[in-house]
């Protein structure tokens, strides 16, 4: 299989930083590319922007939020079973519906991370609709480590003024190679997660015990372990059994260790498992004050989410691609919605809505929230047309792009 790689250029007005001010520390995340919000109360993104502004407010749990953001950054720079690269893609943030969703995808294409900062985590402050990349650098990481719970932490995502210009142009310019299989894998995680159900929920104390007892090495083929609910905790088993959750490559959950001291619980998600089943993908969600941090793991740590057969899981073609247009337009105007609600509001049969959602997810134009069983609008800011799985881009694909741009 031939791998196509292009170079994505990030341009930031200035480096992201934690700045000290009269009102306390301010976490400023600079943005590059994506959709600009229509303004307070806007129902949908207004259009492309070089430096969107998505949020200005406070984080109600600053220390936990800082640790969780570092976990997302950890996944962005991780490469299990692959040589390290000098440059990693920056995390993506989506705003809307009073919440912020920070996402990253590992260089090996096997781990997806998302931090959902909910309304209670932002104090209900206005959040602009849109998706963009945010700058994460070494000084910022060092500053986030020093954030304490007693610090009132102001957060700004984007420039102080929309489309603010810096003298002499962008201060940060970074070029990162983005293979097409990485982009397809990033998008495909949403399709995979949409088949998950909640399998177990345990307390914070039990979550700490389970996650700290996981092996720290051995995430190659055949390294999957299984866990089944047992009382208030989890019991490891050596083979798949009904009700079990697969943990393929336990060391890939290491990014969750940063937030354990702030955890209030742990939820496990996965597809149905049978006694004769093979390793499956799964999602591990740490509940935090006003936030959720979720890692989704591919079933094979070596091959990641872009192995053979990925294209068969995202149906496309005339009808599904055509339905994706109205579904995308509606999803762009609501904070989030499940397939049933989208079917009622579009008038399409549920099976056609699910097929359309699979098209949108696999092309990077929708995300899936396992905790809420709902979809949300977001467009990966890496260029339209680059995310579609190979062999799935039909003649009607432009209709999806046009509807998403109009929405």
* Phi and psi at residue 316, to the nearest 5°: -140, -175
CA atoms within 13 A on the CB side of 244: 23
**pLDDT per 10-residue tile (average), the chain, 407 residues:** 79 94 88 75 65 94 97 90 68 94 95 97 89 96 94 91 60 91 94 96 94 70 81 88 92 95 97 90 98 96 68 60 95 93 96 96 95 95 63 38 36
Distance CA 341, CA 345 (A): 6
At residue 21, the pLDDT reads: 78
Asked if residues 33 and 50 have their Cβ atoms less than 8 Å apart, the reply is yes
At residue 35, the pLDDT reads: 77
Length of the chain: 407
Residues pairing with 377 in the sheet? 366
Count the Cβ atoms, other than its own, within 10 Å of residue 311.
16
pTM: 0.89
- Three-state DSSP class for 112? strand
Asked if residues 89 and 122 have their Cβ atoms less than 8 Å apart, the reply is no
Look up residue 338 and give its two tokens.
């499940």
Q: Give the angle subtended at the CA of 16 by the CAs of 12 and 21, to the nearest 5°.
A: 130
């Amino acid at each position: 299989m031939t791998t196509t790689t292009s170079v994505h250029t990030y341009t930031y007005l200035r480096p992201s930083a934690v700045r000290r001010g009269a009102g306390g520390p301010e976490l400023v995340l600079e943005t590059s590319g994506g959709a600009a919000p229509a303004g307070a109360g806007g129902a949908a993104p207004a259009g492309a922007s070089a430096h969107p502004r998505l949020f200005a407010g406070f984080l109600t749990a600053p220390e936990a939020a800082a640790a969780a953001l570092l976990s997302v950054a950890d996944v962005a720079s991780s490469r299990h079973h692959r040589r390290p690269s000098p440059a990693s893609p920056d995390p993506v943030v989506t705003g809307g519906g009073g919440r912020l969703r920070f996402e990253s995808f590992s260089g090996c294409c096997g781990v997806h991370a998302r931090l959902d900062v909910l309304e209670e985590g932002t104090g209900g402050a206005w959040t602009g609709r849109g998706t963009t990349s945010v700058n994460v650098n070494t000084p910022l990481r060092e500053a986030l480590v020093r954030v304490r719970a007693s610090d009132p932490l102001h957060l700004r995502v984007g420039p102080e003024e929309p489309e603010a210009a810096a003298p002499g142009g962008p201060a940060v310019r970074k070029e990162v190679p983005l293979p097409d299989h990485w982009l397809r894998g990033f998008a495909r995680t949403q399709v995979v997660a949409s088949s998950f159900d909640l399998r177990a929920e345990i307390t914070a104390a039990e979550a700490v015990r389970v996650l700290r007892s996981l092996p720290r090495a051995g995430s190659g083929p055949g390294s999957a372990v299984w866990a089944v609910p047992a009382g208030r905790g989890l019991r490891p088993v050596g083979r798949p059994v009904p009700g079990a959750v697969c943990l393929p490559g336990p060391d890939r959950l290491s990014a969750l260790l940063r937030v354990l001291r702030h955890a209030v619980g742990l939820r496990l998600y996965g597809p149905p498992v049978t006694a004769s089943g093979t390793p499956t993908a799964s999602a591990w969600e740490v509940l935090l004050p006003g936030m959720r941090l979720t890692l989704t793991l591919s079933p094979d740590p070596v091959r990641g989410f872009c192995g053979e057969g990925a294209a068969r899981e995202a149906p496309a073609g005339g009808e599904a691609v055509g339905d994706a247009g109205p579904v995308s337009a509606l999803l762009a105007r609501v904070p989030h919605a499940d397939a049933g609600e989208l079917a009622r509001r579009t008038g399409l049969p549920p099976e056609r809505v699910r097929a359309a959602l699979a098209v949108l997810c696999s092309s990077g134009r929708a995300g899936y929230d396992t905790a809420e069983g709902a979809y949300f609008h977001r467009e990966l800011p890496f260029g339209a047309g680059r995310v579609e799985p190979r062999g799935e881009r039909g003649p009607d694909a432009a209709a999806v792009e046009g509807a998403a741009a109009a929405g």
